[in-house]
Structure 1
């Protein structure tokens, strides 16, 4: 069998799974010929799949010293631990956790916002000792940079950058559509925590999801006093259409959503 024929045989994922199964069922590492004999395939086919499994990080290849004259022999064994080459479904995990949080009712949004605030403080840097806090414009610039790094595609208002900004992209869009009552407060809290950590003279007082067909709108305002957080107004974040409004002070708008 040629190398090309072995490559053609590799088109079947079943064959590679059989090679891996042979290694897992063995009491010791196997060589190419060992695998070929166990599966009844050509040595080139066994070698092709073994090399592929090594490249994928599922199998490790080692050399054994020969019993007599000759070169060391390559043997193969499954890599210890869970197979990291499999698929991932973090969206499903997120839906499980968010559905549980949303089940807490009125307190869910406040809990979500507090979690966002904690992460916002973690992600932002505070002023160095004896360094003056940022101005409103500087704080907006730093917040915009942070949101851009998180893939929110922020866009400060051209006429009043210290009053509002638009988020043109949501990295959690599907989750926000399904669990906006807890996902959107996380976003609001993230901005509040970051601005608080910076020592900024402004804070985020509201987030209107899907306020425009292609953007969510964040409202900014001066703090009522240094170091005192300004609570979101009653026009903050609202539940998605078809869900009951909570008493958390959030308002979710879908008026322009298509």
Structure 2
């Protein structure tokens, strides 16, 4: 749900993965990724036996997907007038790409848990109490940005909300495998996350409640009492 890269870069993870499905493009990405420094078009073309134009096309596509960063350097070592134009070079970006179907957010759970353990270690507050508080704080930040309401927020982030009467059920749990093994901790984290989102979204029609059932998230949105 909550790892939203849209504010970091206008790239889509699925599109990036699809870009690597092309064999030549994947070889170029691997060449750059394994290099000890930025790689130029001529260097890449020579290493893989490609035409320079072909290498340039695929390198630029990888850069457009956010998989490579573009840098400019003068490799001659000369500076000033007459030094020539800097060469266009490519290096692996720091962007991480992951695609799961249905949507999962294990990285988010790991971040919240790690933060909770560190704060608990320094303050003595129970880990689970810190985790639930931090989950609620994150939910509050997300809810404050949910201009169209919390149900739309859940839809956009993969919870697959569906209405059954006055109740909103969530067809997908972003923490599915973790929740199966650590029900109290992970479902409690999720509950506080959604309660935080409801608190700041302006959507006063619902309240988040635990209601585990097979095939869906353990949290449901019930009509507010």
Aligned to 2:61: 55
Alpha-carbon spacing, 1:92–1:149, altered in 2? closer, same or farther (3 Å): closer
Q: Which residue of 1 aligns with 2:136?
A: 117
CA contact (8 A) 2:169 2:216 kept: no
Query: Quick one: structure 1 residues 61 and 49, their matched pair in 2 at CA, closer, same or farther if it must change by over 3 Å?
Result: farther
Q: Distance in 2 between matches of 1:36 and 1:145?
A: 45
Distance in 2, Cα, partners of 1:37 & 1:125: 49
How many Å apart are 1:153 and its aligned residue?
2.0
Find 1:200's aligned residue among 157, 181, 204. 204
What aligned pairs does 1:145-224 form with structure 2 within 5 A after superposition? 145-158=152-165, 161=166, 164-197=167-200, 198=202, 200=204, 203-204=207-208, 206-209=209-212, 211-218=213-220, 220=222
The SS at the match of 1:166 is strand
Q: Measured at CA, do residues 145 and 177 of structure 1 come closer, stay the same or move farther in structure 2, by a change above 3 Å?
A: same
Q: Bigger radius of gyration, 1 or 2? A: 1
Query: d(CA) in 1 for partners of 2:152 and 2:45?
Result: 59
Shift of 1:188: 1.0
Residue 74 and residue 115 in structure 1: after superposition, are their counterparts in 2 closer, same or farther (change >3 A)?
Answer: closer
Deviation (angstroms), 1:168 = 1.2
The number of residues matched between the two structures is 181
Does the 8 Å CA contact 1:56/1:85 hold for their aligned counterparts? no
Q: Secondary structure at the match of 1:212?
A: coil
Q: Which residue of 2 aligns with 1:226?
A: none
TM-score (norm 2): 0.51
The answer as to whether partners of 2:206 and 2:222 remain within 8 angstroms in 1 is yes
User: Which structure 1 residue ranges, 5 or more long, are not aligned?
Assistant: 1-8, 127-140, 224-258
**Other-structure match for 2:126:** 107
Matches within 5 A, 1:22-37: 24=37, 32=42, 35=43
Partner of 1:77: helix, strand, or coil?
strand
Deviation at 1:83, TM superposition (A): 2.9
| SS at structure 1 position matched to 2:193 | helix
The alignment partner of 2:159 has SS state of: coil
Shift in CA distance, 114/47, structure 1 to aligned 2, threshold 3 Å: same
Q: Deviations over 1:26-45 (max 9, x none)?
A: xxx9673xx49986x86x54
Partner of 1:83: 93
CA contact (8 A) 1:19 1:46 kept: no
- Check 1:86–1:17 CA distance in 2 against 1; reply closer, same or farther (3 A cut): farther
